[in-house]
């Protein structure tokens, strides 16, 4: 007689999933204010959709993933920042349209569920949501042996925010505007397939090796959390703001992201000498023999967010960003021309 099969014997442990969820419930609930209706465990999450402070509220949504940064996390045995990565990435994306975050939902996929890894990731999500007043309102945990292999995890997030139609971004960008760059923590959540190939497959390096000229391991440099710029930029989202546009430098780097927010007949000139890329980018470029154009199209090169601002307010904005913990500098200007980006 054939052995009786169970879900657990097929590789899916429901008991472990419930144990993992119990470990994060407290931190999830801490992100949920009075707008969240009902508790955890329903078939759908409920959120009060009234915005009396806005004349014409627009919902803004975005979805993204951590990508193969999870591979580096597995190599280093450190998943602690992946939850922050996905929340901060999504928040920055909708920030480019002036949106204030409302709620966040996550997808956590794996081959075999580890409660410790799951808790580390989800608690990171909850911490980032708390930092910016966003509700971690729901999620999906999928244990799928045969789809994911070994100790693989996959992390995806969806965010919903709101902006008043009259205050949405981008606004009018004009020749003469200044370009301010806000520093990144490193690669953030993009370019890891190329970085892993250059550093580990071609370069033969280990996550435990030090980045030359620093006391930082390659693992620490690659796993530095995606920086969130919402709290620093939030005061500049109102009416008559000298901030005209924002571009989150993710996949596509400088060349593909900045043109998305430019007005017709404008282009951007970026001065590379106005900042120094982090050492990890130099190491990736050297190990992989990667061309400059490819580097600036794949990676953020040390600039996580680009602000297009009225040049008469540059000093005021730089002072504000510094006071709010951001490393900011003027890195270029807007010129008349076709909608593209040039590096000088």
CB 246 within 8 A of CB 95: yes
Helices 82-95 and 69-76: crossing angle in degrees, nearest 10, is: 160
How many Å apart are CA 162 and CA 291, to the nearest integer? 40
The domains of the chain, with CATH numbers, are: 14-167 (3.30.1330.10), 178-343 (3.90.650.10)
How many Å apart are CA 278 and CA 290, to the nearest integer? 16
Nearest Cα neighbor of 247 from 190, 179, 312 is 179
pLDDT digits (tens, 9 = 90+) for 112-166: 999 999 999 999 999 999 999 999 999 999 999 989 988 889 999 999 999 999 9
Q: What is the DSSP string of 238-270?
A: STT-SEEEEEE--TTHHHHHGGGGPPTTEEEEE
**Lookup: tokens for 326:** 């951001």
Q: What pLDDT shows up at residue 169?
A: 97
Q: What pLDDT shows up at residue 1?
A: 60
User: CB within 8 A of 250, min separation 6: which ones?
Assistant: 64, 89, 93, 188, 189, 190, 257, 300
Q: What is the DSSP string of 49-92?
A: ---TT-SSEEEEEEEEE-TTHHHHHHHHT--TTHHHHHHHHHHH
Residues of the chain with pLDDT under 70: 1-2
For the chain, the straight-line distance linking the first and the last C-alpha, in angstroms and rounded, comes to 74
Q: What pLDDT shows up at residue 41?
A: 73
**Lookup: tokens for 292:** 């400059």
Q: What is the mean pLDDT of the chain?
A: 94
How many Å apart are CA 43 and CA 140, to the nearest integer? 11
CB 159 within 8 A of CB 126: no
- For CA atoms 315, 319, 324, 329, give the dihedral sign: positive
CB 98 within 8 A of CB 237: yes
H helix runs in the chain, sequence order: 14-22, 25-29, 69-76, 82-95, 115-131, 192-196, 218-223, 230-233, 253-257, 279-288, 292-298, 314-323
* Whole-structure pTM value: 0.94
CB 225 within 8 A of CB 185: yes
User: CB within 8 A of 247, min separation 6: which ones?
Assistant: 96, 257, 258, 260, 261, 305, 306, 308
CB 8 within 8 A of CB 14: yes
Q: What backbone torsions phi and psi does residue 204 show, to the nearest 5 degrees? A: 70, 20
Nearest Cα neighbor of 281 from 261, 247, 254 is 254
């Amino acid at each position: 007689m054939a052995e009786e099969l169970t879900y657990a014997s097929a590789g899916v442990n429901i008991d472990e999933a419930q144990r993992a969820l119990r470990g994060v419930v407290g931190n999830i609930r801490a992100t949920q204010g009075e707008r969240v209706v009902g508790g955890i465990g329903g078939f759908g999450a409920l959120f009060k959709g009234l915005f009396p402070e806005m004349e014409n509220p627009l919902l803004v949504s975005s979805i993204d993933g951590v990508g193969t940064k999870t591979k580096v996390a597995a190599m280093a045995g450190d998943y602690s920042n992946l939850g922050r990565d996905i929340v901060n990435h999504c928040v920055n994306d909708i920030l480019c349209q002036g949106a204030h975050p409302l709620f966040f939902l996550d997808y956590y996929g794996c081959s075999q569920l580890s409660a410790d890894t799951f808790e580390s990731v989800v608690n990171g999500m909850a911490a980032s949501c708390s930092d910016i007043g966003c509700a971690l309102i729901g999620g999906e945990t999928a244990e799928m042996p045969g789809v994911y292999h070994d100790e693989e995890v996959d992390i995806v997030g969806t965010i919903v925010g709101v902006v008043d139609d009259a205050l949405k971004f981008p606004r009018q960008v004009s020749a003469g505007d200044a370009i301010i760059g806000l520093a990144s923590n490193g690669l953030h959540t993009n370019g890891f397939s190329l970085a892993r190939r250059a550093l580990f497959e071609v370069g033969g390096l280990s996550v435990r090796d030090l980045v030359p000229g620093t006391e930082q391991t390659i693992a620490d440099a690659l796993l530095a959390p995606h920086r969130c710029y919402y709290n620093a930029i939030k005061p500049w989202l109102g009416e008559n703001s000298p901030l005209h546009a924002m571009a989150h430098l993710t996949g596509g780097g400088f060349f593909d992201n900045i043109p998305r927010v430019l007005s017709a007949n404008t282009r951007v000139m970026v001065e590379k000498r106005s900042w120094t890329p982090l050492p990890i980018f130099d190491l990736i470029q050297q190990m992989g023999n990667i061309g400059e154009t490819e580097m600036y199209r794949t990676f953020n090169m040390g600039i996580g967010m680009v602000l297009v601002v009225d040049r008469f307010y540059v000093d005021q904005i730089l002072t504000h960003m510094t006071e709010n913990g951001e490393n900011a500098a003027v890195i270029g200007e807007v010129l008349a021309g076709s909608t593209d980006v040039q590096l000088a």
